[in-house]
Structure 1
Amino acid sequence: MPEHTPKQTSPFCLRLTPEERAQLEREAAGLPLGEYVRQRVFDENRIKRRTRNKHTVKDHQILSQLLDELGRSRLSNNLNQLAKAANSGLLILTPEVKTALLNACADIRNIRETLMKSLGLDK
């Protein structure tokens, strides 16, 4: 005789202190708490996050440094000016323009490396 499996789930109530609930919510990282607990208890390997990719910034000082570099570099303004000149046929590759392009590339590289480090993705 086949085993009878209930079609509906049975509710389960658990009392938590505010600190315990906060910890559980942090660990769940956006996953519904019931699903997170069920997966942790019954199948740890099955945890699937339904939220957008959320990276925890390990070091807010690094993020501040990134924003500072971005603001100081005037990167978007400089690249926009170069793009306008190129589109209008006015871009002549003088030593100054070449230096500006190389500086823009270096700024982009520094910003990328800083961002990767802040997200814990550094080499």
Structure 2
Amino acid sequence: MSTPPTNSSKNSSLPTPFSLRLTFEERATLEKEAGNQPLGAYIRSIVLPDTDTPRKVRTRTRQPLKDDQALGSVLGELGKSRLANNLNQLAKAANTGSLPVTPDTEKALQDACGAVQEMRNQLMKALGFPIAKGPP
């Protein structure tokens, strides 16, 4: 029986890693099937089903997002908005002194800040963080 290959490093006692190229679709399928299990551990359990070798390396479990729908909503709104471009235009106008600060302008800026705060709150909720009340 042959011995498994080892790393070329003299100080390493870990086996040589094995690499496998997958298409995006193949990887997505495997990740979906793996659920919260790390992908490597899932593949190992499929390829070597009767082997229950304890791993020396601590494995992490993937944590699903708290609310995928809320996160998708935020990302969709950010994609539709031209937030970065608009902020850049506002900064340029403010720096050149060409931005008149009228009550309408101030209200529009406050509305925009409120929308950004709402997106922040939805993102925090989707990621499972507590939402702060009041101004940031």
**How would you bin the TM-score normalised by the shorter chain?**
0.5 to 0.7
TM-score, normalising length: structure 2 = 0.50
User: Structure 1 CA distance, aligned partners of 2:12 and 2:123?
Assistant: 46
Question: For the residues of structure 1 that align with 2:98 and 2:14, how far apart are their CA atoms?
Answer: 72
| Secondary structure in 2 matching 1:121 | coil
How far 1:114 sits from its partner (Å)? 0.9
Looking at both structures, which has the greater relative contact order when contacts are Cα pairs under 8 Å and sequence separation is at least 6? 1
TM-score, normalised with respect to structure 1:
0.54
What is the aligned residue count? 93
Q: Percent identity?
A: 42
Alpha-carbon distance between aligned partners in 1 of 2:14 and 2:73, rounded to the nearest angstrom: 50
State the alpha-carbon separation in 1 of the partners of residues 97 and 12 from structure 2: 69
CA distance in 2, matches of 1:92, 1:108: 22
Q: Does 1:111 align with 2:129?
A: no
Any stretches of 5+ residues in structure 1 without a counterpart?
Answer: 1-6, 12-18, 40-46
Is the CA contact 2:74–2:123 (under 8 Å) kept in the aligned structure 1? yes
Q: Show the 5 A alignment for 1:1-123.
A: 9=13, 23=34, 26-28=36-38, 37-38=55-56, 47=58, 56-123=64-131
Q: CA deviation at 1:38?
A: 2.2
- Write the distance in 2 (CA, Å) between the matches of 1:96 and 1:30: 56
- Segments of 5+ residues of structure 2 without an aligned counterpart are 1-10, 16-29, 45-53, 132-136
Q: Which ranges of 4 or more aligned residues in structure 1 deviate by more than 3 Å?
A: 7-11, 25-31, 71-74
**C-alpha deviation, 1:60, in angstroms:** 2.0
Question: Secondary structure at the residue paired with 2:122?
Answer: helix
2:124–2:130 Cα contact (<8 Å) kept = yes
> Hey, which of these two has a bigger chunk of helix by percent?
1
What is the CA-CA distance between 1:55 and the residue it aligns to?
Answer: 6.0
RMSD: 3.7
Q: CA deviation at 1:66?
A: 0.5
